[in-house]
Amino acid sequence: MNSEIQRSGTQAAALNMEVEQRRRWFGYQKREALVPYAFLLPSFLALAVVFFYPMIHAIVISFYSNNIGSAAHFIGLQNYREVIASDWFPTVMRTSLFWTVGNVIFVCGFSLAIALMLDRKFPGRGLVRALFFLPWAVPYVAAGIVWGWMYDYEFGVLNYLINAIGLASNKVNFLTACPSAFYSVGALSIWKLVPFGTVMYLAGLQTIPSEYYEAAKIDGAGPIQAFRHVTLPGLRGVTVMLTLLIAIWSFGWSFTAIFLLTEGGPAGCTETIVVRSYLEAFKFFHVGTASAIGAIVLLLSLTFSAAYLALVYRKGSQR
């Protein structure tokens, strides 16, 4: 009897221990599972405050009239209808499109050329690489002020040099004529973005095995053929990624360079949809209209982003 009691007591103790172990184990697992979220939480909270809340709030405002504060009332999609039907919408969309396409083409082109040059071994390569990456580190506002002075019609160094070399008898209206103002502002944007593209292409070039080039050489390929049949296919993934990133940045953020140099002028020549959104909000006090434009920009940028994420996901699943 006693031994039976003892045995059942031992069994109960073993069972309790197992339950306790299991509880501890599940608790540990739970805690382990929560750790990544705990690390993500501060960033998420910061993003929620400075990014998600303003974004959602702006979308909500886009359905309200342009009155400020409590006077604003719900008007449904009227702001969107007015924006799309306005006479300026096709113009700013066209400008935004040219801006984006121009940025993508020139950033990818220059970045690839510079990356190919910097990939070669030559004395002082580290220093040259650092110099080429410098524009990325220069603050946009400082760069805008410097470029603005360089382009200045009366006192700018570019007009001085053009005159000194004898390239043109008249001064160039870098920022005071259309479309030269568009190209001039675009040059600043490209100058700022090229270092990023160069870094991506340099990284891409280093992933192409040298055996491919050796095999191409054995097959009789010259430098141009090797570039066409080995380098370009090897950089396809980087090019697609870079194209999408530059497109997202150029379209959605086409503001800083433009605002610093021309504020959308002359006569709307450099007015992109983002600049228009700013003007609607802060110059005309049309908060609802500006928010509707912002929502349209968001929607279009999300299209690019979805393509980018799809690509990243596809690349990830192929590994």
**Footprint of another protein on this chain (CB under 8 A)?**
67-69, 71, 151-155, 173-178, 181, 261-269, 279, 281-285, 287
Nearer to another protein, 75 or 177 (CB): 177
Nearer to another protein, 87 or 211 (CB): 87
Write down the number of H helices and E strands in the chain: 15, 0
Min CB(148)–another protein separation in Å: 8
Alpha-carbon Rg for the chain in angstroms: 29
Nearer to another protein, 80 or 151 (CB): 151
Q: Angle between the 89-119 and 78-85 helix axes, to the nearest 10 degrees? A: 80
Min CB(257)–another protein separation in Å: 13
* Residue 252 tokens, joined: 């959605």
Min CB(82)–another protein separation in Å: 10
Cα 255 from Cα 141, distance rounded (Å): 11
* Residue 275 tokens, joined: 């600049």
Nearer to another protein, 5 or 71 (CB): 71
Nearer to another protein, 129 or 286 (CB): 286
Nearest to 106 by CA among 258, 242, 267: 242
Contact between residue 132 and residue 198 where contact means Cβ atoms under 8 Å apart: yes
Min CB(298)–another protein separation in Å: 19
Nearer to another protein, 177 or 221 (CB): 177
* DSSP for residue 172: P
Q: How far is CA 254 from CA 62, 97, 192, 281, in A?
A: 21, 10, 12, 16
Min CB(184)–another protein separation in Å: 11
Min CB(301)–another protein separation in Å: 23
